[in-house]
Structure 1
Amino acid sequence: MSPKSWLRGFHTAPEPASRPVQLVCFPHAGGSAGYFVPLSAQLSGVSQVLAVQYPGRQDRWREPAVDNLDELAEQIVAALRPARNGGPLALFGHSMGALVAYEVARRLAPARLYVSGCPAPSRGVEATKGIKDDAGLLADLRRLNGTDAGLLADPEMLELILPALRADYHAVRTYQWQPGSEPRCPVRVLTGSHDTRTPPHVVADWRRHTTGECHFHEYEGGHFYLTEQTGRVADLLAADLAQGVH
């Protein structure tokens, strides 16, 4: 699979851009690369921002979605290796994307890892364990309040998006962390203040998943706090990325 199938860029890299920092963003379950357009716009002056487009959605809707998180990470690593520009690489993942970014980091050794809205890998996402059918899946999406309610009420749209959603939720529900090498880079853990998925006791264990520094940042909002707090999150990332994340 060509790297172009997996990676989307929305804004021109900063100038001079001989070896810009690459920030690769990983979307949530049911999400797409386009979720990160606002963040890309905010960071266009300091980084080349790329977003991962998982198969089974939008322009890749004809491709089968991947319902195994480790397999998804392996495929993304294969796409990222030839796409790297030789400069430093940073990874940012939200919700399911945080787990994918973490597993990619175990394989690619980035300079920085940002994980958002997600319990530590060794904890698992307990909230998804009991979701066994479409009704439970859709109820969970409504609780998280990150998907257009009109979209969830449209039978024709649901027919298009449900296959990818089923695969993503299955990937999260069945993910089992395996002991092994951990990322050596600094990790920043970002959460929403009202996100029931990420209370302190389930995110604190992210410290176990890096041999580098681990810092925690809380923002006002729920599971999809990033939608309202893009500017503040971009400021945090920009301060790191402007240093070249060596």
Structure 2
Amino acid sequence: MLELKGVGSGYGRLPVLFDIDLTVDQGQMVSVLGSNGAGKSTLLKTILGAIPPSKGEIIFRRQKVSGMPAHKRVGMGIALSPEGRQVFPSLSVRENLVTGAYGVSTPNMKEQFERVYELFPRLKERQNQAAGSLSGGEQQMLAVSRALMSRPRLLLVDELSLGLAPVIAERLYSALRALCDEGLSVIMVEQFHLVAVGFSDKQYVMEKGRFVKVTEQQVKKGEKPAAAAAASGGSGS
């Protein structure tokens, strides 16, 4: 579904990512774990096309997309649920969902509404309610559902569990895991969250813009790797 080969990127003259290698197969949930400032969000923005890579290749569904703008990548099937949810607080739940339906025809949009309401029944109950009045967990459900409205093949999710009770985070992960079982591919970025590890097929750990090699035991314990363990290139655990 997705392959990154030696990808680097950053902001202007400030490099953030270095020699990133990553693969995601169809139906896989892959977690990228790391502390604040490690480069996780930059990685997602680079995959989406919001930040152009300075080097390396990004291949999505067997097509090189490294120089392709974000809107074309969205049209190909990549969607992002951003950090901090970023819902439109004055719009209703349903109106927020419509904003995510990029390139979706009216008949298919109806099908997508039914899909996300089945996934998160709470949103159907509150579809006419202002998004700003929802709880944190409900807003996260809405942010994920808005990204799903474009019928993506690859869903990028930034800090799903941020500010949520563990039981709510687990419910969200369980819903995404069910979608992976239907063929959706998901990349999650999180700070060392054990719920994410439990639902993932593969984990990468990022530090200072590079993937670092850690043991499976370290990942499960949520241990942060020492800077001395950094290694260029990616190695999933």
User: TM-score normalised to the size of structure 1?
Assistant: 0.31
Could you say which structure has the higher strand fraction?
2
Higher relative contact order (CA 8 A, sep 6+): 2
